[in-house]
Amino acid sequence: MPAPTLPSLTAAKAAPSRTDVLVVGVSGTSEAPVPVGFPATVTKTIEKGLGVSPAELLRTSGAGSAVGTTTVLVPGKGLRLIAVGVGEEEPTPARLRKAAGSALRAVAGLGDNGLSVAVSLSSTEPETAQAVAEGALLGSYRYQPISATTAPHPVATISVVTEGKREADQAVACGVSVATAVAQAREWINLPPNLLYPETFADAAKEHVRDTRISVEVLDEKALAKAGYGGILAVGGGSSRLPRLVRYSYSPRGAKAHIALVGKGITFDSGGLNLKPGEGMYTMKCDMSGAAAVLAATRAIAELGLRVKVTAYASMAENIPSDTSYRPSDVLTMYGGTTVENGNCDAEGRLVMADALARATEDSPDLLVDVATLTGACMIALGSDIAGVMGNDDDVVDQVLAASESAGEPMWPLPIPEGAASELKSSVADLKSTGPRMGGALWAAAFLQEFVAEVPWAHLDIAGPAYRESKVDGHLGVGGTGAAVSTLVALAQSYAS
């Protein structure tokens, strides 16, 4: 499983002379458009060649300033000019990320290959420069169809114009690490479940950190049984492709904190014996998005050399019905000894997460963050674009929300009601895995809370934003999005200094 190919991206003082496509910005209104990032040389060429000012060219081209709207200002075979809307007002990092993503999609739509693109959006502050770099790379990411014919690469190189400001150049490099990690998560999510299953996912996870300072340990089904991972084994037991637990450890000198991460890695969720209907099952290769996020983010954190210790767990299993499947009403003994009555085989995520959370608390981290495509109920609550954040510690939840804000990933807090555990009573075990149907995201979180002991913990339910069935949106394409990767890196950054 090779890593996805992205264009190479660097910071540049000005648009390089061999540029094929120059992306500039437009803000203001359609009556009074305001040019953003037009280099003086380009302004001169426009004024000489076309006899108009950039603002006039934008107005007559009808270039819209709505974020991500693209207009080809100068077509042809020479230097092509594309304007992208960055919003009427002062552009924020989130708007610039989206705009740069849309612009690179428009470049790919030109029909040429191997283009050199310069993106000039007045992004000379570190935050905006990083956002432009991320957006440009992620707007260029494509999942390559599995086919005998190889797909072309429209964009070869991208220069982000920063006017040579040192902090901005460093931020661009950081953006490259983050976007590369997001693209890797997307790639794992997009791979079909007949190719990416627990064993191959674990192999890919090993390969992913071969050239890094991250050490990796993989527990196979025998090791899982020996250590008592009853949740992962039950969920994964219906498939001939047996489960795995991957553990990454990044332990730099001078670490300021220890963060533990846990990700849900169901490589395909059929619902098990509580089989999903066909429509609901089709996208369930995305059910390993949490695992993809924690693995990819850990690599980016190490690559950036952040002074924070990270221990990441990815629980990998395939949820499939067969005569070896676990059943509704089975009682499972989880890692650490808690017993659980299984309420529904389609509520498999919380079982594989509970085992890994219980294991992660043994490392005594300063905080614990888990990421999972856990509940359809979270999508009912917050829609398809916003992740739910729950936890046992308001500070950790606030820190995650702050990180998501700077990463440009929409997230929103949901409560775990006082006494929620009483909804999970069982007459045959310590706990039941499922609670009432209404508020399903909260009971799932309340279940997980039973396994984190006193460790400050936040839970990210990314069932909505992990996967897009249709409609591209700036840096977000159709398919896996890599949701939570940038938030986790930003969170680690907030603990590293």
Q: Is 77 assigned a ligand-binding role in the annotation?
A: no
- Least Å distance, CB 129 to Mn ion, is 40
Give the whole-angstrom CA distance, residue 372 versus residue 241: 21
* Token digits of residue 452: 């984190």
Residues 236-295 that bind Mn ion (CB under 5 A): 269
The answer to whether 93 and 135 have CB atoms below 8 angstroms apart is no
373 near ligand BES, rule: CB under 6 A: yes
Q: DSSP for 175-216, please give it.
A: HHHHHHHHHHHHHHHHS-TTTS-HHHHHHHHHHHTTTSS-EE
- Least Å distance, CB 269 to ligand BES, is 5
Choose, by CB under 5 A, the member of 20, 199, 346, 355 that binds Mn ion. 346
**Cβ-based burial of 301 (10 A; exposed 0-12, middle 13-18, buried ≥19):** buried
269 near Zn ion, rule: CB under 5 A: yes
440 near ligand BES, rule: CB under 6 A: yes
Torsion of CA 292, 298, 304, 305, to 10 degrees: -170
DSSP conformational letter for 142: -
Which of Mn ion, ligand BES, Zn ion, none sits in contact with 273, Cβ below 5 to 8 A by type? Answer: none
Residues 6+ apart with CB under 8 A from 124: 162, 163, 165, 168
Q: Is 269 assigned a ligand-binding role in the annotation?
A: yes
Closest CA to 334 of 477, 434, 229, 483: 229
155-161 and 8-12 as β-strands: parallel, antiparallel, unpaired? parallel
* Cross-sheet strand order for the sheet of 331-333: 331-333, 339-341, 431-432
199 near Zn ion, rule: CB under 5 A: no
Nearer to Mn ion, 271 or 480 (CB): 271
- Least Å distance, CB 376 to ligand BES, is 3
Choose, by CB under 6 A, the member of 30, 344, 426, 494 that binds ligand BES. 344
349 near ligand BES, rule: CB under 6 A: yes
Which of Zn ion, Mn ion, ligand BES, none sits in contact with 463, Cβ below 5 to 8 A by type? Answer: ligand BES
Choose, by CB under 6 A, the member of 199, 318, 346, 355 that binds ligand BES. 346
Give the whole-angstrom CA distance, residue 452 versus residue 399: 18
Give catalytic residues, as residue numbers: 276, 350
- For Mn ion, the binding residues (CB under 5 A) are 269, 346
Per the annotation, where are the binding residues for Mn(2+)?
Answer: 264, 269, 287, 346, 348
Q: Which residues bind Zn ion (CB under 5 A)?
A: 266, 269, 287, 349
Q: Which residues bind ligand BES (CB under 6 A)?
A: 269, 287, 344, 346-349, 373, 375-377, 434, 440, 463
